[in-house]
């Protein structure tokens, strides 16, 4: 059973003593309940291969610490005494995902059940503001969210920053993110310093990779373990899941697909080159095609959702310029996606961000291009779908990652 951290970071250590074996078994039970849903103690024993007595002891400890609850009676088969179904609880703990986007900063908090318990977003021109100001704003957003959750009796166990570009995991540094103008920004240390010694553990990860983690945790329930997640932001990135594992690459830079030199029509890229895919299909391209620079939809001080809602209204009302812009985006998406499907052959390709927001205007063209241009028949067996997470995918992936400490050491993570 997969956790966000085993996808995005490293696998769990092998147990070496009785205490670590018990931690491993507690995590095993908790992950089973998260991934497969509520079930009786007898079914848990069958699914994990652990003795029934061991399961009873583990469940008792998890109940005591508020991580699982026992609910309605469930009968195993046609005969036998029914048992109470055990399910994940954990409503008093949460993980926070923070996203640094070109146009906004956002925070999402999820409890252990995956329920959304807090969400906030502020419009920020991140490139113009600069790293120090952005980290100040991010710290305020985090501090206010943690305080509000604490008043509701919910403890924040960890924070993950989702940022675009190339990430150095070991140092918690944004090595290079051309679209926001960051180079060598120590994001983790900067946020930790601003939050002070009481800050929960903080991690940093690439936004597209975290989006892929969030999408995979949904898709894996349907048995899908090879997935391509394509962001639809100012920059275009990819998160790649292969065989249930996040593809990171030798230096962790896998997925920088927005800079594929496809030679499509567009202005010079923020990376300094021309012909990059994202200059033809990224959010900036849509805005450039659909509106004049002084139009409110191009104003980064206006919340992005408001701007996209206005574009959506124009498209739905038949505004020809907006519809033509969306046709250009659909036509531009095809060449890059076909290339990725030829190379990766995923089972599922998910269009995220604004691609999903305008998905009904894009998806038919994109699927047709894939079916006619991918070398393998029927797009190599790949289904192309739209994200249901929208612009929250990266922050959700971050919140899931922040909660993984619970699955690695359930009791230690929630103990005061």
Domains of the chain, earliest start first? 4-88 (1.10.10.10), 93-210+395-414 (3.30.420.40), 221-393 (3.30.420.40)
Q: What is the pLDDT of residue 13?
A: 47
Q: What one-character DSSP code corresponds to residue 13?
A: P
**How far is residue 208's CA from residue 230's CA, in Å, rounded to a whole number?**
7
Distance separating the N- and C-terminal Cα atoms of the chain: 27
pLDDT of residue 78: 47
Look at residue 270 in the predicted model and tell me its pLDDT. 83
Q: What is the pLDDT along the chain (416 residues), one digit of tens a residue?
A: 455 655 554 444 455 678 889 999 999 999 899 888 899 999 999 999 999 999 999 999 999 999 999 976 665 554 555 678 999 999 999 999 999 999 999 999 999 999 999 999 999 999 999 999 999 999 999 999 999 999 999 999 999 999 999 999 999 999 999 889 999 999 999 999 999 999 999 999 999 999 999 999 888 878 899 999 999 888 899 999 999 889 988 887 889 899 999 876 778 888 888 889 999 999 999 999 999 999 999 998 898 999 999 999 999 999 999 999 999 999 999 999 999 999 999 999 999 999 999 999 999 999 999 999 999 999 999 999 999 998 899 999 999 999 999 999 999 999 87
Do the beta carbons of residue 308 and residue 322 sit within 8 Å?
no
β partners of residue 99: 106, 162
**Alpha-carbon gap, residue 245 to 6, rounded angstroms:** 8
* Range list of H helices, 152-261: 187-195, 207-219
CB 203 within 8 A of CB 163: no
Task: Report the alpha-carbon distance of residue 355 to residue 225 in Å, rounded.
Answer: 22
Count Cβ neighbours within 10 Å for each residue of 236-251 and write b for 16 or more, e otherwise. bbbbbbeeebbbbeee
Rounded Cα distance, 46 and 51, in Å: 8
pLDDT for 74: 60
User: What's the predicted TM-score (pTM) here?
Assistant: 0.87
């Amino acid at each position: 059973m997969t956790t966000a951290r085993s996808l995005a970071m490293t696998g769990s250590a092998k147990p070496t003593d009785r205490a670590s074996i018990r931690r491993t078994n507690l995590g095993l039970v908790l992950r089973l309940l998260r991934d497969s849903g509520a079930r009786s103690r007898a079914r848990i024993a069958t699914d994990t291969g652990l003795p029934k007595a061991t399961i009873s002891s583990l469940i008792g400890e998890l109940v005591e610490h508020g991580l699982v609850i026992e609910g309605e009676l469930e009968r195993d088969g046609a005969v036998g005494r029914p048992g109470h179904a055990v399910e994940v609880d954990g409503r008093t703990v949460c993980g926070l995902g923070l996203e640094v986007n070109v146009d906004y900063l956002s925070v999402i908090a999820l409890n252990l059940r995956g329920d959304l318990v807090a969400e906030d977003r502020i419009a920020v021109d991140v490139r113009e503001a600069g790293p120090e100001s952005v980290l100040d704003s991010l710290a305020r957003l985090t501090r206010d969210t943690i305080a509000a959750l604490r008043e509701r009796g919910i403890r924040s166990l960890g924070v993950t920053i989702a940022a675009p570009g190339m990430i150095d995991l070991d140092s918690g540094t944004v090595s290079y993110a051309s679209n926001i103008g960051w180079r060598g920004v120590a994001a983790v240390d900067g946020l930790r310093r601003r939050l002070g010694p009481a800050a929960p553990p903080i991690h940093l990860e690439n936004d597209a990779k975290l989006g892929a983690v969030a999408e995979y945790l949904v898709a894996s329930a349907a048995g899908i373990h090879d997935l391509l997640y394509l962001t639809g932001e100012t920059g275009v990135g990819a998160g790649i899941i292969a065989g249930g594992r996040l593809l990171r690459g030798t230096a962790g830079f896998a997925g920088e697909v927005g800079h594929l030199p496809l030679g499509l029509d567009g202005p010079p890229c923020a990376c300094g080159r021309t012909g990059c895919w994202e200059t033809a299909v990224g959010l900036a391209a849509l805005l450039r095609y659909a509106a004049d620079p002084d139009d409110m939809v191009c104003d980064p001080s206006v919340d992005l959702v408001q701007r996209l809602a206005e574009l959506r209204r124009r498209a739905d009302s038949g505004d020809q310029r907006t519809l033509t812009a969306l046709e250009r985006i659909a036509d531009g998406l095809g060449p890059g996606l076909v290339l990725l499907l030829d190379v990766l052959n995923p089972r599922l390709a998910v269009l995220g961000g604004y691609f999903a927001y305008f998905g009904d205007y894009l998806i038919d063209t994109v699927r047709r291009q894939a079916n006619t241009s991918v070398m393998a028949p029927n797009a190599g067996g790949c289904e192309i779908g739209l994200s249901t997470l929208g612009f929250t995918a990266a922050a959700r992936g971050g919140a899931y990652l922040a909660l993984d400490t619970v699955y690695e050491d359930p009791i230690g993570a929630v103990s005061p």
